[in-house]
C-alpha cells in the first residue's frame, strides 16, 4: 500500500495505491487522517485509480472518514472494487465514481490542436480529444453541457458521449464515422476551395441565426469590454476611450456564437458539416465571431507566416483566400468595399485580443514585435472607423 496526496483549491486528493486490508488498515487510517489534519478545512476526495482491493477493515476506514467528511467522494474506482462498495451499501452513503476507460493516442492520426486540447482520430468511427490541463473534468463537463444546449437549439453538433483517461490526463470521445474536417479538405486541394467555403459558411449562418436562452452562455460583449479595458493601459487615451465606446455601443444580444470558429473545428460527415470543440460557445454580436475568425486565418500569422501552416496545415495564401471568400459568402455580396469595411471592424476586435495576448505572454516568440504591430494596426483602424455595426 502507498498513500500520497495533492491539493487543488479547497480539495485534497488522497491517492491510495495497492491494497487496504486487515494487515495495513490501521496504517492507512493513520496516514489519511494525518493528511487531513495537515490540510484542515479542505474537502477530501479519495482517488482510487490504483486501488486494487479493499477489505472490510478498509471499508471501516472509509466510514470513519465519512463521519468527519459528509461530502466525501471516491473517484476512479475499478469495476471489481466498485462491486465491493456497491454490495456493502457504500454507494448509497458515499459519492463513488467508476474509473474512466483508458485510451492512448499513440499511433492515432492527429487532426488539430486548439487552446484547450488536441484532437485525434482514434479509429474510423471515433474522434478523441485530449485536454492539456491535468484536472480538466470541469472543462469537460462544461463543454458537454454547452454541446447539449447547442444540439437542443438545432445546431449540427458532434456531442462527446464519454470521458476517458489519456495518460495522466483526461479526454472525450465522439462518434464521427469517417468524418474529415474542413482543414483536411483545404490541405488536399488548396486550389478548389468553393465547396469547403460553402460547408464553413452554411454552418456559421445557422449558428448566427440561433437565439440562445438568457444566461445559457457567456456574453462575448462583456469579455471584449474586459479586453478593451486591459489594452487601454497600453495605447493612447483617446484610442482606448473610442475602442471601449464602440464595443459598448454594440447591442446586448443572445445570438449564438462559436467563439473559435476555424476550419479545424468543422467536421464533414456524409456531406453535412458538424461543429466540434464547443467549450468556447457564447452569445453576442457576430462581429465578435468575425474578429476571432480573422485572427485564426490572418492575425496570428501576421508576422510569422509559418504560424498558419503549423496550426492549420495550409499556407497563408490559402488562408487568406478562404477568409476572403467566406466573408463574401457570409455577407452575401461581391462588393469589395462592403467586405473591406466589415473586415476592418473585425480586425479591431481581433487586434484588441491579440494585443492583450501578446502583452500577457512576453516570453513567447515575437511577442514584443506583435505588441508593436497590434498598436500600429489599432491606431490606423480606429482613426477611420466609427462603429462596429454591420
pLDDT of amino acid 135: 79
- On the question of pLDDT at 137 being above 90, the answer is no
- On the question of pLDDT at 198 being above 90, the answer is yes
Strand segments, DSSP code E, in 270-320 are 272-275, 282-283
* Confidence (pTM): 0.79
pLDDT of amino acid 318: 97
What number is the average pLDDT over the span 279-299? 97
Q: Percent of the chain scored above 90 by pLDDT?
A: 79
- On the question of pLDDT at 13 being above 80, the answer is yes
CA angle 280, 183, 335 (to 5 degrees): 85
Lowest-confidence range among 17-26, 175-184, 305-314? 175-184
Same domain, 362 and 216: yes
Domain residues for the domain of 9 are 2-99
Among 159, 147, 168, which Cα is nearest to 217's? 147
Average pLDDT, the chain: 93
Q: How confident is the model at residue 160 (pLDDT cuts 50, 70, 90)?
A: confident
pLDDT of amino acid 83: 92
How far are the Cα atoms of 4, 141, 144 from residue 138, in angstroms, in the given order?
Answer: 23, 5, 10
Cβ contact 223:211 at 8 Å: no
Q: Which three cell numbers stand for residue 198?
A: 460553402
Same domain, 36 and 82: yes
Same domain, 378 and 335: yes
109 or 16: which carries more pLDDT confidence? 16
- On the question of pLDDT at 56 being above 80, the answer is yes
CATH of the domain at 17: 3.30.750.24
CA angle 109, 137, 291 (to 5 degrees): 70
- On the question of pLDDT at 382 being above 90, the answer is yes
Collapse the DSSP code of 119 into the 3-class scheme (helix H, G, I; strand E, B; otherwise coil) and give the result: strand
Same domain, 56 and 93: yes
Domain boundary among 66, 99, 132: 99
pLDDT of amino acid 334: 96
* 257 strand-pairing partners: 282
In a domain, 362, yes or no: yes
pLDDT of amino acid 23: 94
What number is the average pLDDT over the span 198-221? 96
Distance between CA 208 and CA 162 in Å, rounded? 28
Collapse the DSSP code of 151 into the 3-class scheme (helix H, G, I; strand E, B; otherwise coil) and give the result: helix
Domain count, the chain: 3
- On the question of pLDDT at 187 being above 90, the answer is yes
pLDDT tens for 294-310 read 999 999 999 999 999 99
What number is the average pLDDT over the span 335-356? 98
What number is the average pLDDT over the span 356-384? 95
pLDDT of amino acid 138: 83
Same domain, 159 and 199: no
In a domain, 271, yes or no: yes
Same domain, 190 and 150: no
pLDDT of amino acid 264: 92
CATH of the domain at 130: 3.30.200.20
What number is the average pLDDT over the span 214-230? 96
Same domain, 332 and 237: yes
Q: How confident is the model at residue 278 (pLDDT cuts 50, 70, 90)?
A: confident
Domain boundary among 48, 68, 99: 99
In a domain, 53, yes or no: yes
In a domain, 389, yes or no: no
pLDDT of amino acid 147: 87
CATH of the domain at 299: 3.90.1200.10
Same domain, 192 and 265: yes
Same domain, 208 and 349: yes
Amino acid at each position: 500500500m502507498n498513500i500520497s496526496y495533492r491539493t487543488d483549491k479547497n480539495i485534497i486528493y488522497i491517492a491510495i495505491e495497492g491494497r487496504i486490508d486487515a494487515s495495513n488498515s490501521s496504517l492507512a487510517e493513520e496516514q489519511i487522517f494525518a493528511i487531513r489534519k495537515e490540510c484542515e478545512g479542505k474537502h477530501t476526495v479519495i482517488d482510487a485509480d490504483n486501488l486494487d482491493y479493499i477489505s472490510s477493515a478498509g471499508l471501516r476506514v472509509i466510514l470513519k472518514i465519512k463521519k468527519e467528511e459528509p461530502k466525501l467522494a471516491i473517484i476512479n474506482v475499478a469495476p471489481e472494487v466498485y462491486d465491493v462498495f456497491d454490495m456493502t451499501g457504500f454507494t448509497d452513503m458515499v459519492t463513488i465514481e467508476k474509473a474512466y476507460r483508458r485510451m492512448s493516442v499513440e499511433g492515432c492520426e492527429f487532426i488539430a490542436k486548439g487552446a484547450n486540447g488536441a484532437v485525434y482520430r482514434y479509429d474510423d468511427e471515433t474522434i478523441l480529444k485530449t485536454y492539456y490541463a491535468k484536472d480538466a473534468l470541469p472543462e469537460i463537463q462544461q463543454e458537454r453541457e454547452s454541446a447539449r444546449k447547442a444540439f437542443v437549439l438545432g445546431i449540427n453538433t458532434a456531442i462527446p458521449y464519454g470521458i476517458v483517461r489519456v495518460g495522466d490526463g483526461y479526454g472525450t470521445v465522439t462518434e464521427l464515422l469517417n468524418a474529415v474536417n474542413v482543414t483536411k479538405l483545404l490541405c488536399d486541394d488548396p486550389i478548389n476551395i468553393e465547396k469547403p467555403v460553402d460547408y464553413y459558411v452554411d454552418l456559421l449562418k445557422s449558428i448566427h441565426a440561433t437565439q440562445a436562452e438568457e444566461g445559457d452562455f457567456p456574453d462575448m460583449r462583456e469579455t471584449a469590454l474586459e479586453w478593451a479595458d486591459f489594452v487601454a493601459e497600453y495605447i493612447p487615451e483617446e484610442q482606448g476611450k473610442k475602442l471601449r465606446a464602440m464595443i459598448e455601443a454594440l447591442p446586448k444580444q443572445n445570438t449564438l456564437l462559436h467563439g473559435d470558429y476555424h476550419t479545424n473545428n468543422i467536421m464533414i460527415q456524409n456531406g453535412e458539416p458538424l461543429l466540434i470543440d464547443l467549450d468556447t460557445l457564447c452569445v453576442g454580436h457576430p462581429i465578435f465571431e468575425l474578429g476571432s475568425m480573422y485572427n485564426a486565418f490572418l492575425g496570428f500569422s501576421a508576422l510569422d507566416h509559418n504560424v498558419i501552416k503549423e496550426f492549420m496545415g495550409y499556407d497563408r495564401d490559402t488562408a487568406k483566400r478562404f477568409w476572403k471568400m467566406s466573408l463574401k459568402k457570409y455577407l452575401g455580396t461581391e462588393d469589395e468595399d462592403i467586405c473591406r469595411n466589415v473586415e476592418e471592424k473585425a480586425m479591431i476586435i481581433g487586434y484588441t485580443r491579440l494585443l492583450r495576448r501578446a502583452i500577457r505572454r512576453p516570453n513567447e516568440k515575437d511577442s514584443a514585435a506583435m505588441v508593436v504591430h497590434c498598436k500600429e494596426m489599432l491606431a490606423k483602424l480606429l482613426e477611420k472607423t466609427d462603429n462596429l455595426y454591420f
